[in-house]
């Protein structure tokens, strides 16, 4: 499919309003798809998603955002009026985020967004489409030793409604991931829940995301290979290692399973025992310990075994260290990540699963998730 270079996010919204949000409700001669969706319509839905999401990417980069979707060639195409307003607001907020990140020392010189349709379905005059977005951003060399790129895969659900003129109208886009990528609308503040008690489990202290503290170098005589940990994570961040089982979000997510794999690649040894014993950590042919895959269970094991040391400041993390997040601030941790790069200024870059991401800066995470509680561990 022909690529589309989008130079202006505002222009993307304008063009969408004219040419890329309605697709025909029927296409004569098209091959049928599951759920009553014909192939041409399903492809048009995916192309719309690609144009909208590339527009969001364009709003956060200083240079060009390369897209790979063109608007469907239909005669009656427009966003709903609510979607026009919504996307204009999203683009404006992303411009502000770009300015904030740049003021703090992070910017992107280019972006590339691709979209694949995962599932389509029709229920009368409504249609739902799920897509996977794969975006790569090129870090602008402000200090000189930033990573080359960062990348992520994000999942979205698009809603369409049949219009009276025989076309489908795009009415909404919903993110399906709990961890928003840098080109996503700002998340709302979470409703703070009652703190979850840890009982007699080791309770890690919260790590401050600011400021940049004095560097705390790692002990190089631990016998662990931190580079091997990072190399493993960066090899399998998107294409999962088939030697291990993986767990979708509906089954608890794959983040801690992935970090456990990387730690093992760097020298962590199995601690065999009962699967539910948080003092044990292992992976087997049929099952694994709860601490291998569970966010909180991993924290309890890692502290109890003295394999980690909690850090007071998240910016003290080095390559091979682990960061966990409590999104809703209820005391129960939700997500696990591994540091795979650190620049000279002291910014850690995280690689992780479930919300598959490569070298995302702690800076962008802090800006996007100001209400999150962070827990940092020296491995």
| Residue 193 pLDDT > 70 | no
Question: Which pLDDT does position 249 carry in this prediction?
Answer: 78
Task: Identify the CA nearest to 12 among candidates 61, 1, 43, 39.
Answer: 61
Predicted structure pTM score: 0.90
Across the range 227-235, mean pLDDT stands at 98
Q: pLDDT averaged over the chain?
A: 87
Across the range 307-328, mean pLDDT stands at 97
- Kind and range of the H or E element at 378? strand 373-378
The per-residue pLDDT for range 237-263, each reduced to its tens digit, is 999 999 999 998 777 799 999 999 999
Task: Identify the CA nearest to 142 among candidates 91, 92, 107.
Answer: 107
User: What is the distance between the alpha carbons of residues 153 and 253, in angstroms, rounded to a whole number?
Assistant: 14
Tell which wins on pLDDT, 151 or 211: 151
The per-residue pLDDT for range 98-149, each reduced to its tens digit, is 999 999 999 999 999 999 999 998 898 899 999 999 999 999 999 999 999 9
Tell which wins on pLDDT, 348 or 26: 348
Question: Which pLDDT does position 40 carry in this prediction?
Answer: 72
Quickly list H helices, the chain. Answer: 9-19, 39-60, 81-104, 226-236, 255-265, 290-293, 295-304, 362-368
| Residue 8 pLDDT > 60 | no
Q: How many CB atoms lie within 10 A of CB 298?
A: 28
The per-residue pLDDT for range 50-103, each reduced to its tens digit, is 999 999 999 999 988 888 877 765 545 567 889 999 999 999 999 999 999 999
Report the interhelical angle of 39-60 vs 81-104 (nearest 10°): 40
The per-residue pLDDT for range 144-178, each reduced to its tens digit, is 999 999 999 999 999 998 887 768 889 999 999 98
DSSP, residue by residue, 17-56: HHHSSEEES--TTPPEEGGGEEHHHHHHHHHHHHHHHHHH
- Tell me how many degrees the CA angle 319-364-377 measures, rounded to the nearest 5: 35
Task: pLDDT band for 340, please (50, 70, 90 cuts).
Answer: very high
Question: Which pLDDT does position 122 carry in this prediction?
Answer: 87
User: What is the distance between the alpha carbons of residues 250 and 227, in angstroms, rounded to a whole number?
Assistant: 31
Q: Measured over all CA atoms, what is the biggest interatomic distance in the chain, rounded to whole angstroms?
A: 71
Lookup: tokens for 194: 């009652």
Q: Residue 199: which residues within 8 A CB-CB, separation 6 or more?
A: none
Task: pLDDT band for 201, please (50, 70, 90 cuts).
Answer: confident
| Residue 31 pLDDT > 50 | no
Q: Give the end-to-end CA distance of the chain in Å, rounded to a whole number.
A: 46
């Amino acid at each position: 499919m022909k690529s589309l270079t989008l130079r202006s996010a505002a222009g993307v919204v304008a063009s969408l309003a004219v040419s890329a949000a309605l697709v025909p409700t029927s296409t004569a001669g098209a091959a049928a798809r599951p759920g009553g969706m014909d192939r041409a319509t399903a492809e048009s839905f995916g192309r719309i998603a690609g144009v909208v999401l590339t527009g969001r990417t364009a709003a956060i980069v200083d240079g060009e955002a390369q897209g790979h979707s063109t608007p469907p060639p239909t005669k009656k195409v427009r966003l709903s009026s609510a979607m026009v307003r919504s996307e204009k607001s999203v683009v404006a907020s992303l411009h502000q985020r770009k300015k904030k990140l740049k003021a703090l020392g992070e910017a992107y010189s280019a972006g590339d967004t691709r979209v694949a349709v995962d599932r389509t379905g029709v229920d009368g005059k409504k249609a739902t489409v799920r897509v996977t977005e794969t975006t790569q951003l090129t870090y602008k060399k402000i200090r000189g030793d930033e990573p080359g790129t960062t990348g992520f895969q994000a999942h979205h659900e698009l809603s369409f409604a049949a219009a009276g003129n025989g076309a489908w109208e795009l009415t909404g886009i919903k993110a399906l991931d709990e961890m928003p990528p840098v080109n996503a609308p700002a998340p709302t503040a979470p409703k703070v829940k009652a703190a979850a008690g840890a009982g007699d489990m080791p309770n890690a202290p919260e790590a401050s995301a600011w400021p940049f503290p004095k560097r705390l170098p790692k002990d190089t005589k631990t016998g662990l290979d931190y580079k091997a940990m990072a190399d493993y994570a960066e090899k399998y961040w998107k294409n999962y290692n088939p030697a291990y089982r993986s767990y979708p979000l509906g089954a608890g997510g794959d983040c801690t399973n992935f970090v456990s794999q990387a730690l093992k690649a760097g020298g962590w040894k199995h601690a065999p025992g009962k699967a539910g014993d948080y003092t044990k950590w292992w992976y087997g042919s049929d099952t694994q310990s709860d601490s291998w895959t569970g966010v909180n269970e991993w924290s309890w094991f890692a502290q109890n075994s003295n394999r980690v040391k909690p850090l007071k400041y998240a910016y003290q993390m080095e390559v091979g260290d682990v960061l966990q997040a409590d999104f809703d601030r209820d005391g129960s941790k939700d997500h696990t990540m591994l540091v795979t790069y650190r620049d000279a200024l002291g910014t850690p870059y995280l690689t992780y699963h479930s919300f598959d991401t490569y070298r995302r800066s702690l800076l962008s995470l802090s800006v996007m998730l100001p209400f999150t509680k962070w827990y940092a561990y020296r491995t």
